Amino acid sequence: MRAFVITGPGRAEVLDVPPPEARPGEVVVDVERAGVCGTDMEFFSGAMSYLHTGQARYPMRIGHEWSGTVAAVGAGVDRAWIGRRVTGDTMLGCGRCHRCTGGRQHVCADRYEIGIRNGRPGALAEQLPVPVKALQVLPDSVDPALGALVEPAGNALRAVNAAALPPGGRLLVLGPGTIGLLAAQIAAAHGADVHLLGRGAAALEFAASIGFTRTWTAETLPDLPWDAVIDASNGAALPALAADLVEPGRRVVYVGLASEPSPVDSRTLVLKDVTAVGVLSASGGLAGTVELFAAGLVDPRPLIAATVGLDEVGAVLAGERRPSWGPGPKIHVRPSDEGCVS
């Protein structure tokens, strides 16, 4: 089968690799759609921290936002899974340690992460092996594009839930990228008064085009009481800003990651009695996200700027964008196609 393989910093190619076999407890999925995200770009550039800590190494096959159809099952897996449309969790814990048995498999010290950690192959390929326990069934109303957005939106849903907004509360989201916009959409679906803070005019204009007219820059941000602040940015200074801006006794949620240390003064948290919550992964948020999508309460498809083939992925990871693509922040890949699709 064809798969996108990163062979070193700034180097990648589409290779013919052996197709996966369904091992005991696993299925093989025919990948219909996969998303490209900032983590993938960091692996391509060589900046991703896992490459420097030994948790990932080249060559590697990326892709952890995906949807597809189960094509084969391994020993111990019900054959009724064959033909089901699915997506799945990225985080695959060992299943034995105290974290896994305590419901925290996504922070298992020995976990695999699909397309990210400890050599587990990713979804930028025609087929993907996945443990059956990680699967999330997709209803007919959730198409392949929505299915491949479940994983990033699961992160956003967890962030919104962690914000613990009061009814009709005012939320400030830092960073109008994919996760920030998904969090904004989900919070708005729950009745929140959503505001976004960003830097680039194009990103803020896009946010306004999908209904978020309360968009600000650092210079225009109004002095309002923020019932919660979600930092979905990669700015090293914004975690501290989130703590400064949030109302006393409320919550800040950190779901974005900077490429350098981003300190927060604990005195701010203590003296304001602020709760700070970190969110890692969509684990625990997948089912709720599928329900939101299936009910039509959240439709993130406008975030997809284009859908391309595997041969285009290297250019995407290098930051290239075709003039014909839309303004959204997300690029999807259809692994079975060659060249630019749409």
Are 157 and 136 in the same domain?
no
Are 59 and 131 in the same domain?
yes
Are 203 and 73 in the same domain?
no
User: Is 338 contained in some domain?
Assistant: no
Provide DSSP, 270-335.
HHHT-EEEE--SSTTTHHHHHHHHHTTS---GGGEEEEE-GGGHHHHHTT---TTS-S-SEEEE-T
10 Å Cβ neighbour count for 60?
A: 24
Are 74 and 123 in the same domain?
yes
Provide DSSP, 164-223.
-PPTT-EEEEE--SHHHHHHHHHHHHTT-EEEEE-S-HHHHHHHHHTT---EE-TTT---
Q: At 13, which CATH number? A: 3.90.180.10
Instruction: Evaluate whether 39 touches 54 at the Cβ level (below 8 Å).
Output: no
Are 238 and 271 in the same domain?
yes
| b/e sequence 265-276, b meaning 16+ C-beta within 10 Å | eeebeeebebbb
Enter the pTM of the model: 0.96
User: Is 295 contained in some domain?
Assistant: no
Are 109 and 12 in the same domain?
yes
Q: At 186, which CATH number? A: 3.40.50.720
Count of domains forming the chain:
2
Mean of pLDDT values over 57-81: 98
User: Is 285 contained in some domain?
Assistant: no
Check pLDDT > 60 for residue 339. Answer: no
Are 264 and 196 in the same domain?
yes
Check pLDDT > 90 for residue 198. Answer: yes
- Give the pLDDT of residue 331: 98
How far apart, in whole angstroms, are the C-alpha atoms of residue 15 and residue 310? 10
Are 127 and 163 in the same domain?
no
Binning pLDDT at 50, 70 and 90, where does residue 342 land? low
239-254 per-position pLDDT tens digit: 999 999 999 999 999 9
Check pLDDT > 70 for residue 53. Answer: yes
User: Is 179 contained in some domain?
Assistant: yes
Mapped onto helix, strand or coil, the DSSP state of residue 103 is coil
User: Is 34 contained in some domain?
Assistant: yes
- Give the pLDDT of residue 341: 53
Q: What percent of the chain has pLDDT over 90?
A: 97
User: Is 284 contained in some domain?
Assistant: no
98-150 per-position pLDDT tens digit: 999 999 999 999 999 999 999 999 999 999 999 999 999 999 999 999 999 99
How far apart, in whole angstroms, are the C-alpha atoms of residue 74 and residue 86? 16
Name which of 311, 305, 304, 307 is nearest 339 in CA terms: 311
Are 142 and 159 in the same domain?
no
- Give the pLDDT of residue 259: 85
Are 159 and 130 in the same domain?
no
User: Is 322 contained in some domain?
Assistant: yes
251-290 per-position pLDDT tens digit: 999 999 998 999 999 999 999 999 999 999 999 999 999 9
Domain range for 105: 2-149+301-333
- Give the pLDDT of residue 225: 98
Binning pLDDT at 50, 70 and 90, where does residue 337 land? confident
Element (H, E) at 66: strand 65-73
| 62-76, 87-101, 134-148, 327-341, range with the lowest pLDDT | 327-341
Bridge partner residues of 16 (DSSP): 2
Mean of pLDDT values over 319-323: 94
User: Is 204 contained in some domain?
Assistant: yes
How far apart, in whole angstroms, are the C-alpha atoms of residue 308 and residue 320? 12
Are 243 and 269 in the same domain?
yes
**Mean pLDDT, the chain, integer:** 96
Mean of pLDDT values over 229-241: 97
Are 169 and 145 in the same domain?
no
